[in-house]
Amino acid sequence: MKKIIAVLVLLAVLVAGGIYYFNRLLNEKQIYLAGEKLIIIGFSMGATREERWTKDRELFVKRAQELGAEVSVVSSDYNIEREILQIESLISQGVGAIVVMPSNSETIWPAIEKAKQAGIKVISYDRLIKDSDIDLYISFDNFMAGQLQAESILSVIDHGRLAYIGGSPADNNSYLLRDGTMDALASGIDSGKIELVVDKFTDDWKPEEAYKTMKEYLDSGQTVDAVIAANDGIASGVIQALKEKGLDGKVLVSGQDADLSAVQRIVAGTQFSTVYKPISSLAYKAAESAVALVKGDAMEVTNVVDNGMIKVPSYFFKPSMVSKKNIMGTVVKDGFYTYDEVYKSVKQ
């Protein structure tokens, strides 16, 4: 009996040791799946402050893992020096590709250069990396998003005093959004029907900076009929300033990203519209493209974009406008949010 117990104990030790050894090999990224070396992808997120980036991260990791890849995620929260160091760390880990959502489109290039020198594929995610040799740029049509924002306001008022509060001047998307908005407003401004009373960018997309911009304008005694905010975080700061003057729900505010809090504000009536971007499409495409690049497979692209150094193969998704009229047919229908998330806690 004692011999049987001893044998069983020995077998248990051997099994435990085998599991430990397997996990160790996995952690050291030395195992092979289906005859192929495990693909390791880095995901460098320059920001997670805004609500939407949590979804981007979760969806990207989910899809990459479904494709048999491992993901190492780092986030710098708009600190470009930290992001460069984090990318250098990903390089040292031996990743096959790095997907980069830059905190600063223009100053991230030293890290990108090091990645390319190491033979690592680089994908620019959502925001274009400037002056760098990148392999792919995946985003939404941000010019169109800016147009949609302005058009949503113009569908209600075609004249009056309008404020534009843009995104970070360090983010290339901010300029694309503004260009799209101004394209839609051009005829109204040229005819004098629309007066642009504020036109200002917002450092690091900070809602508190947008609040200050709007508050300073309102404190000067000036009036405004509508505000186009470059994203929903900025819209929240604008609406807070309007609320302090008793103007929330009276001044039209358009945002972008379809944050849950923004959709709830639309239901409540304090925000008029937002631009919905199907983030799952973007995150899945980025994960699929990263794996394809590492494997050397062909990728689908729809455009090329000049980033100041090269013509970058690019893929763009189309955004859509969300207002109180079509919430059910957009973000709820797509499963982006549930009915209860949008409506249950909102006073209408």
- pLDDT tens track for 133-188: 999 999 999 999 999 999 999 999 999 999 999 999 999 999 999 999 999 999 99
Measured CA to CA, the distance from residue 342 to residue 327 in angstroms comes to 9
The 8-class DSSP code of residue 70 comes to E
Determine contact, residues 265/300, Cβ cutoff 8 Å. Answer: no
Please report, rounded to a whole number, the percentage of residues in the chain having pLDDT higher than 70. 89
Res. 287: pLDDT tops 70: yes
Q: What is the pLDDT of residue 252?
A: 98
**pLDDT for position 3:** 54
Cα torsion 276, 277, 280, 283 to 10°: value is -150
- pLDDT, tens digit (0-9, with 9 covering 90-100), for 293-342: 999 998 889 899 999 999 999 999 999 999 999 999 999 999 999 999 99
Please report the pLDDT score of residue 30 as a whole number: 39
What confidence score (pLDDT) does residue 31 get?
38
CA 219 from centre of chain: 33
CA distance 273 to 251: 12
Q: Is 35's pLDDT higher than 60?
A: no
Q: What is the pLDDT of residue 299?
A: 83
- DSSP-based three-state secondary structure for 344: coil
Angle between helix 142-154 and helix 172-191 axes, rounded to 10 deg: 40
How far apart are the C-alpha atoms of 110 and 87, rounded to whole Å? 10
- For residue 241, name the pLDDT band (cuts at 50, 70, 90): very high
Predicted pLDDT at 211 = 98
- Say whether pLDDT at 259 is over 90: yes
Q: Is the pLDDT score of 10 beyond 80?
A: no
Q: pLDDT, tens digit, for every residue of 196-235?
A: 999 999 999 999 999 999 999 999 999 999 999 999 999 9
CATH superfamily of 142-277+321-343: Response regulator (3.40.50.2300)
The secondary element (H helix, E strand) that includes residue 260 is helix 260-268
Q: Please say if the pLDDT value at position 57 is more than 50.
A: yes
Residue-wise pLDDT tens digits, 100-141: 999 999 999 999 999 999 999 999 999 999 999 999 999 999
User: For the segment 264-274, what is each residue's pLDDT rounded down to a tens digit?
Assistant: 999 999 999 99
**Where exactly does CATH 3.40.50.2300 map onto the chain?**
13-141+279-318, 142-277+321-343
pLDDT of residue 33: 40
Mean pLDDT of the chain: 90
Q: In CATH, which of 3.40.190.80, 3.40.605.10, 3.40.50.2300, 3.90.950.10 is domain 13-141+279-318?
A: 3.40.50.2300
Lowest-pLDDT range of 17-31, 95-109, 258-272: 17-31
Find the DSSP H helices in 95-171.
109-117, 142-154
Give pLDDT, residue 51. 80
What global pTM score does this model have?
0.82
Residue, of 30 and 233, whose pLDDT is higher = 233
Q: Where are the beta strands (DSSP E) in 15-158?
A: 32-33, 36-37, 39-45, 69-75, 97-101, 121-125, 136-140
pLDDT in the model for residue 324:
96
